[in-house]
C-alpha cells in the first residue's frame, strides 16, 4: 500500500512524475491487434514515415480474444510471400533497440515459423524450429550473434523480449519478463529496403494456422530489466502511478490503460478510469492475461486560492512558478498552495529596461568629469553607471582621450577669396587668425598671412569658316555657341573670356541654267555664251558658297513685223498683219488674233506688238509697229478716247489699272508668249483716274500680253510677273 505524502510533495509528484505506462510506449512500431479488418494502426510515439497504418495480407487476420491481451494477429500457416503484416517500414537500426512480443499456439514443427524479419536488412529475423529447436525462439542476422530463448515458442501464452544495448555491448533475452540469455554483441547497423514483415519473413511461413501474435513492440532504445518486467505485468510496478491531489475545479482521474479480463475499484466502479474530488485511498484489482494484481493510490482533496501582485523589475521578472517575463503586462501564474491545489496569482507586471550607451570623449583641459561625477585625468576606457529615467542602470562606456592645443602659421596668395581651414572666407589681403581642431581634437590656432588678387573678365565675338576655332587657352571648338575660356591674367588669376563663336563652313553646289541671249549669275556676273562657270556668293553662315554653273545660252529669235497701212479710219474693215517668223502672237488695242479692228481700238495712234516664242529654245522676241485710227471726214467722231496706265510692272501678279475715261465695262485679258489666253476679268463701272485692282497671282512667272477693252477703246500692254 502506498504511503500518504504531504500535499505539497504530492503536488510536485503530479507535476514532474511521468506514468510508467507512457514511458513504455514504443517509438517505432506498436500493434495491439484489437481492431478488425486488414488495417492495423501503429500506436508508436514516433512512427517512421509511411508506417502510420500497417496492412494485413493474405489469409492472416486480427481480433478475437483468449490467452493473450484481448485481440491478436492470427496466423494462416501460408507462405509469407502472400500472408503477413506489412508494416511499410524500411528497416533502419543504427543504435540501441528493443523488440517485444507475446505469442501462443506455437509448437514443434518441421516447418520454420518466422515471427518477424526483413530479408533486405542483413537477413534480420526471428524464428522457431529448425536450428532454433522446437519450442524456442532464435534471433539471427548478418553480424548478429545468435540469441536463443528456450521455451518461448510454445502453445501457452508467453512474452519474448530482445534488448540490444550498444553501451553494454550485448543482446539480452527475456522470457515472461525474466532475463534468460545474454550474448556479447559488437556494434551493428541493420538497414534495408523493406518492408519489415511481422508474422513473416521472405517467402517463409510466419505462423501456423491459428498461431497468435499480440502486443508487438519495437523501441529505439534499450529497455531496462524493470521496464521489461513491467511490460509483462504492469501491476507489479504500480500501474496507477503516484498519489494525487484532487481539487474542486480539477478532480483527480485514476486510469488503468492495460488489457484486462476484469476490473474492480474499491468504490465498486468497474470502468478503466474513475474521477474523484474526495480524499481517500483507492484500490484497483485487475485480472487478465497481460496484467493481474492489486494497486493502491491516495487522493487528497484541497482548495484553490487566488491573489494578485504588482511587481516592477528591470529587464526581466522571475514569477513564483518559475516563469521569466521580459515585457510589461498582466500574467497569470499558478503554484501549489498549502492544500496542494492551485494558487492562481494575477501579476500586474511593469518591466523597465536598463540602457547602455557609448561615449567617445576628449578633453583639452587635463581632466574629464563623467556623468556619474567621477573625474578621470588620463586617457583610457571607463565604465560609468547612472540611473536612467526608468530607474534601471544606464551603463555608459567612455572612451576618453586627453589632448593638447597647438599653433601654426600659413602664408597664402589666392585669387578672389580664400577659404581658411575652419571654413571662414576672406576676400581681402591681410593677417587673420583661424582656429580648427588638431589631430588630437584640441584647438589648432593658425596665423594666416594672406594676399588676395582679383580675377578679370572679357568678351570676344569671333567667327571662322575653317571648321574650327582655337580659343586663347588653346581649347579647340568645332561648333557655334557661347563658351567660357580661362587664361591667367597679369596677376596670375583667372581671366574668364566669354566667347561668342560662330563656326561657318564653305559650301558647294551645282546650278544647271538655260538662258536666252545672256545670263545673270547669283554673284552678279553676266554671261552671253554657253559654258561651265564658277560663281561665289556668301552662304547662310557667311562663308563662301561656291556654285558651279552649267550654262546653256540660247539665241533670241529675230522677229520682223510691219504694218503696210499706218493710218485707217475708225469704221474701216479689219487689217490683217504679217510677220516673220510666223506662229507668233499679236497684241494691242483692237487686235484679235492677227487682225486689227479700228472700231475696237478707237481713234488715236496705237502700238501693236508681235511676240514670237521659240519652243525649241524657250526664247522669245517682239517687234512693234504703230497704226493711227482717224475719224475720217464725214464719220462720227469717237468721244472719251481712253488710255490706260498699268502698275506696278513687273509685279507678283497684282496690278493696278487706271483708265483715262469712265467705262461701264473694262475687260482685262492676259495672253502668254504662245498667244494663249490664260486669264480674264470683267470690271464694271470704272471711274476715270481711280485705280482698280486685277490679281493674276496664280499665274507663273513670265512675260504676258495684257489686253484692255474700255467700251470701244482697246489697248495692249506687255506685263511681267515675278515670284
The DSSP 8-state label assigned to residue 288 in this structure reads: S
257 neighbors 272 (Cβ within 8 angstroms): yes
Grid cell of 307 as nine digits:
491573489
Q: What is the residue extent of each domain of the chain?
A: 7-17+235-302, 25-222, 305-352, 355-402, 406-453, 456-503, 507-554, 560-721
Residue tagged 529596461 (cell numbers)? 353
Q: What pLDDT, on the 0 to 100 scale, is given for residue 570?
A: 64
560-721 placed in CATH 3.40.1000.10? no
State the average pLDDT for the chain.
85
Q: Which CATH number fits domain 25-222: 3.30.420.10, 3.20.20.70, 2.60.120.200, 2.40.100.10?
A: 2.60.120.200
Q: How far apart are CA 290 and CA 280, in angstroms?
A: 28
Lowest mean pLDDT among 10-24, 241-255, 501-515, 522-536: 10-24
Q: Is beta strand 368-369 parallel, antiparallel or unpaired with respect to 375-376? A: antiparallel
pLDDT digits (tens, 9 = 90+) for 308-342: 999 988 888 899 888 898 888 999 988 877 776 87
Q: What pLDDT, on the 0 to 100 scale, is given for residue 12?
A: 31
Residue tagged 486685277 (cell numbers)? 694
Q: What pLDDT, on the 0 to 100 scale, is given for residue 634?
A: 30
Q: Which DSSP string do the residues of 164-188 spell out, in sequence order?
A: EETTTTEEEEEETTEEEEEEE----
Grid cell of 539 as nine digits:
552662304
Average pLDDT over residues 179-207: 96
Q: What pLDDT, on the 0 to 100 scale, is given for residue 643?
A: 66
Does 163 or 420 have the greater pLDDT score? 163
pLDDT digits (tens, 9 = 90+) for 426-446: 888 898 988 888 877 787 888
7-17+235-302 placed in CATH 2.60.40? yes
Q: What pLDDT, on the 0 to 100 scale, is given for residue 673?
A: 79
pLDDT digits (tens, 9 = 90+) for 102-147: 999 999 999 999 999 999 999 999 999 999 999 999 999 999 999 9
Q: Is beta strand 591-592 parallel, antiparallel or unpaired with respect to 644-647? A: unpaired
- Judge whether residue 477 has pLDDT over 70: yes
Q: What pLDDT, on the 0 to 100 scale, is given for residue 708?
A: 86
Q: How far apart are CA 40 and CA 34, in angstroms?
A: 9
- Judge whether residue 2 has pLDDT over 50: no
Residue 575 C-alpha from the chain's centroid: 99
- Judge whether residue 249 has pLDDT over 70: no
Helix (H) or strand (E) holding 229: helix 225-232
Q: What pLDDT, on the 0 to 100 scale, is given for residue 572?
A: 64
Q: What pLDDT, on the 0 to 100 scale, is given for residue 121?
A: 96
pLDDT digits (tens, 9 = 90+) for 690-715: 999 999 999 999 989 888 887 656 78
Q: What pLDDT, on the 0 to 100 scale, is given for residue 573?
A: 64
- Judge whether residue 19 has pLDDT over 80: no
170 neighbors 182 (Cβ within 8 angstroms): yes
The model's confidence at residue 675, banded by pLDDT at 50, 70 and 90, is confident
Q: How far apart are CA 6 and CA 210, in angstroms?
A: 53
Q: What pLDDT, on the 0 to 100 scale, is given for residue 112?
A: 97
- Judge whether residue 636 has pLDDT over 60: no
Grid cell of 264 as nine digits:
474492480
Q: What pLDDT, on the 0 to 100 scale, is given for residue 514?
A: 87
- Judge whether residue 579 has pLDDT over 50: yes
The DSSP 8-state label assigned to residue 337 in this structure reads: -
Q: What pLDDT, on the 0 to 100 scale, is given for residue 610?
A: 82
Lowest mean pLDDT among 38-42, 161-165, 406-410, 687-691: 406-410
Cβ burial 502-523 (10 Å sphere, 16+ → b, else e): bbbeeeeeeeebebbeebebee
- Judge whether residue 561 has pLDDT over 50: yes
Q: What pLDDT, on the 0 to 100 scale, is given for residue 51?
A: 96
Strand, helix or coil for residue 644: strand
The model's confidence at residue 89, banded by pLDDT at 50, 70 and 90, is very high
Lowest mean pLDDT among 46-55, 260-269, 369-378, 623-632: 623-632
Does 269 or 127 have the greater pLDDT score? 127
The model's confidence at residue 11, banded by pLDDT at 50, 70 and 90, is very low
Q: What pLDDT, on the 0 to 100 scale, is given for residue 65?
A: 66
Q: How far apart are CA 477 and CA 491, in angstroms?
A: 27
Name every residue whose Cβ is closer than 8 Å to that of residue 466 and which is 6 or more positions away in sequence. none
Q: What pLDDT, on the 0 to 100 scale, is given for residue 9?
A: 30
pLDDT digits (tens, 9 = 90+) for 587-609: 888 888 778 887 787 778 888 89
Average pLDDT over residues 650-654: 93
Instruction: State pTM to two decimals.
Output: 0.43
Residue tagged 547612472 (cell numbers)? 386
Q: Is beta strand 544-554 parallel, antiparallel or unpaired with respect to 507-516? A: parallel
The model's confidence at residue 22, banded by pLDDT at 50, 70 and 90, is very low
Q: Check for a shared fold between 25-222 and 560-721.
A: no
Share of the chain above pLDDT 90, in %: 36
Average pLDDT over residues 274-280: 82
Helix (H) or strand (E) holding 714: strand 713-721
536 neighbors 521 (Cβ within 8 angstroms): no
pLDDT digits (tens, 9 = 90+) for 394-403: 888 988 888 8
Cβ burial 371-384 (10 Å sphere, 16+ → b, else e): eeeeebeeeeebeb
Average pLDDT over residues 226-249: 79
Share of the chain above pLDDT 70, in %: 92
Amino acid at each position: 500500500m502506498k504511503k500518504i505524502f504531504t500535499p505539497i510533495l504530492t503536488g510536485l509528484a503530479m507535476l514532474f512524475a511521468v506514468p510508467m505506462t507512457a514511458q513504455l510506449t514504443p517509438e517505432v512500431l506498436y500493434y495491439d491487434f484489437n481492431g478488425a479488418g486488414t488495417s492495423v494502426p501503429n500506436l508508436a510515439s514516433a512512427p517512421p514515415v509511411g508506417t502510420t497504418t500497417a496492412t494485413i495480407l493474405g489469409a492472416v487476420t486480427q481480433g478475437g480474444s483468449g490467452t493473450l491481451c484481448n485481440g491478436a494477429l492470427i496466423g494462416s500457416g501460408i507462405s509469407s510471400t502472400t500472408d503477413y503484416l506489412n508494416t511499410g517500414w524500411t528497416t533502419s537500426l543504427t543504435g540501441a533497440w528493443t523488440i517485444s512480443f507475446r505469442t501462443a499456439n506455437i509448437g514443434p514443427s518441421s516447418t520454420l515459423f518466422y515471427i518477424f524479419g526483413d530479408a533486405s536488412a542483413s537477413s534480420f529475423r526471428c524464428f522457431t524450429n529448425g536450428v532454433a529447436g522446437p519450442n524456442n525462439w532464435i534471433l539471427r542476422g548478418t553480424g548478429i550473434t545468435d540469441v536463443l530463448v528456450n521455451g518461448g515458442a510454445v502453445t501457452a501464452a508467453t512474452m519474448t523480449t530482445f534488448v540490444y544495448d550498444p553501451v553494454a555491448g550485448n543482446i539480452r533475452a527475456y522470457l515472461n519478463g525474466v532475463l534468460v540469455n545474454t550474448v556479447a554483441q559488437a556494434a551493428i547497423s541493420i538497414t534495408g529496403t523493406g518492408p519489415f514483415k511481422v508474422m513473416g519473413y521472405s517467402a517463409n511461413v510466419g505462423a501456423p494456422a491459428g498461431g497468435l501474435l499480440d502486443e508487438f513492440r519495437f523501441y529505439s532504445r534499450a529497455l531496462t530489466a524493470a521496464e521489461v518486467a513491467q511490460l509483462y505485468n504492469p501491476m507489479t510496478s504500480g500501474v496507477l502511478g503516484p498519489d494525487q491531489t484532487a481539487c474542486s475545479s480539477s478532480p483527480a482521474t485514476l486510469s488503468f490503460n492495460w488489457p484486462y479480463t476484469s476490473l474492480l475499484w474499491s468504490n465498486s466502479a468497474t470502468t478503466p478510469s474513475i474521477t474523484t474530488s474526495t480524499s481517500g485511498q483507492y484500490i484497483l484489482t485487475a485480472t487478465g492475461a497481460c496484467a493481474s494484481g492489486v494497486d493502491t493510490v491516495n487522493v487528497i482533496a484541497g482548495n484553490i486560492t487566488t491573489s494578485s501582485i504588482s511587481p516592477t523589475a528591470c529587464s526581466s521578472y522571475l514569477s513564483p512558478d518559475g516563469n521569466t517575463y521580459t515585457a510589461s503586462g498582466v500574467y497569470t501564474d499558478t503554484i501549489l498552495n498549502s492544500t496542494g491545489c492551485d494558487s492562481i496569482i494575477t501579476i500586474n507586471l511593469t518591466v523597465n529596461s536598463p540602457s547602455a550607451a557609448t561615449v567617445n570623449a576628449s578633453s583639452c583641459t587635463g581632466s574629464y568629469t563623467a556623468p556619474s561625477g567621477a573625474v578621470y585625468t588620463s586617457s583610457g576606457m571607463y565604465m560609468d553607471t547612472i540611473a536612467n529615467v526608468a530607474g534601471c542602470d544606464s551603463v555608459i562606456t567612455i572612451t576618453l582621450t586627453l589632448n593638447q592645443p597647438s599653433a601654426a602659421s600659413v602664408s597664402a596668395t589666392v585669387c578672389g577669396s580664400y577659404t581658411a581651414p575652419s571654413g571662414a572666407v576672406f576676400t581681402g589681403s591681410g593677417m587673420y587668425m583661424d582656429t580648427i581642431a588638431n589631430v588630437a581634437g584640441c584647438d589648432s590656432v593658425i596665423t594666416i598671412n594672406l594676399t588676395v588678387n582679383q580675377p578679370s573678365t572679357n568678351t570676344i565675338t569671333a567667327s571662322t569658316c575653317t571648321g574650327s576655332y582655337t580659343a586663347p587657352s588653346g581649347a579647340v571648338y568645332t561648333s557655334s555657341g557661347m563658351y567660357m575660356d580661362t587664361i591667367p591674367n597679369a596677376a596670375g588669376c583667372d581671366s574668364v573670356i566669354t566667347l561668342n563663336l560662330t563656326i561657318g563652313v564653305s559650301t558647294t553646289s551645282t546650278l544647271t541654267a538655260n538662258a536666252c541671249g545672256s545670263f545673270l549669275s547669283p554673284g552678279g556676273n553676266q554671261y552671253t555664251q554657253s559654258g561651265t562657270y564658277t560663281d561665289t556668293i556668301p552662304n547662310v553662315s557667311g562663308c563662301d558658297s561656291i556654285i558651279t554653273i552649267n550654262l546653256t545660252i540660247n539665241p533670241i529669235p529675230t522677229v520682223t513685223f510691219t504694218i503696210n497701212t499706218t493710218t485707217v479710219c475708225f469704221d474701216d474693215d479689219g487689217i490683217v498683219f504679217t510677220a516673220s517668223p510666223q506662229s507668233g502672237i499679236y497684241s494691242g488695242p483692237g487686235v484679235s488674233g492677227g487682225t486689227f479692228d479700228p472700231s475696237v481700238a478707237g481713234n488715236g495712234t496705237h502700238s501693236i506688238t508681235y511676240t514670237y516664242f521659240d519652243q525649241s529654245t524657250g526664247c522669245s522676241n517682239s517687234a512693234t509697229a504703230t497704226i493711227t485710227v482717224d475719224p475720217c471726214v464725214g464719220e462720227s467722231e469717237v468721244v472719251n478716247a481712253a488710255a490706260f496706265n498699268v502698275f506696278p510692272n513687273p509685279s507678283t501678279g497684282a496690278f493696278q489699272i487706271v483708265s483715262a475715261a469712265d467705262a461701264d465695262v473694262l475687260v482685262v485679258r492676259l495672253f502668254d508668249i504662245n498667244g494663249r489666253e490664260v486669264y480674264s476679268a470683267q470690271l464694271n463701272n470704272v471711274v476715270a483716274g481711280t485705280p482698280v485692282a486685277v490679281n493674276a497671282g496664280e499665274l507663273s512667272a513670265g512675260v504676258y500680253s495684257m489686253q484692255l477693252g474700255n467700251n470701244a477703246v482697246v489697248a495692249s500692254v506687255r506685263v511681267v510677273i515675278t515670284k
